[in-house]
Amino acid sequence: MLGSRRDPLLAYRFLVECEGLLVAGFQEISGLELSLEVEEVVEGGVNDLVHRLPKGIKAGTLVLRRGICRAELWEWFSRIRRALSFQGPLEVRTLYLVILDEAGEEALRLAVTGAYPVKWTGPELKADQSGVALESLELVYTGVERV
């Protein structure tokens, strides 16, 4: 036997944890990315070559979407607003994105570090539709690590 087959993880089985607690059931998560920024440097006297040197790592903007059910996302964003007015500390957190396997067991855990909200978007309300009212929270973060 050549070994067991390892299929890719499915994108619809995931959890979000914060400070050891299950935060909420999100419908969608996007913006999980890290990219290496480069600086182009032209060497004097060498006209046919541009050096591309590493400059730093840039993280994306994480977007969490879910149906409105509780106020914790709004409250976290409100506390950030108060921190900007010097009425409290800036609440920077580590979020854990947990991807589950077919059996519902944890298969992969990613730590999103240094996260805080920068934008809250409320639901689009339409009287002629019966869909779930969705809210989204956009977070900036400093890094992603596999745990």
Please write the tens of the pLDDT for every residue from 30-68: 999 999 999 999 988 888 899 999 999 999 999 988 877
pLDDT in tens, 76-85: 788 888 888 7
- Spell out the domain ranges in the chain: 14-146
Residue 139 CB partners (closer than 8 Å, separation 6+)? 61, 62, 63, 64, 95, 112, 115, 116, 117, 118
Residue 21 in this model has a pLDDT that exceeds 70: no
- Residue 1: the pLDDT is 52
- Asked if residue 113 has pLDDT above 60, the reply is yes
CATH topology of domain 14-146: Pnp Oxidase; Chain A (2.30.110)
* CA angle in degrees (0–180, nearest 5) for 75-80-82: 95
C-alpha distances out from residue 67 to 24, 116, 120, 132, Å: 10, 20, 13, 6
* pLDDT at residue 60 in the model: 94
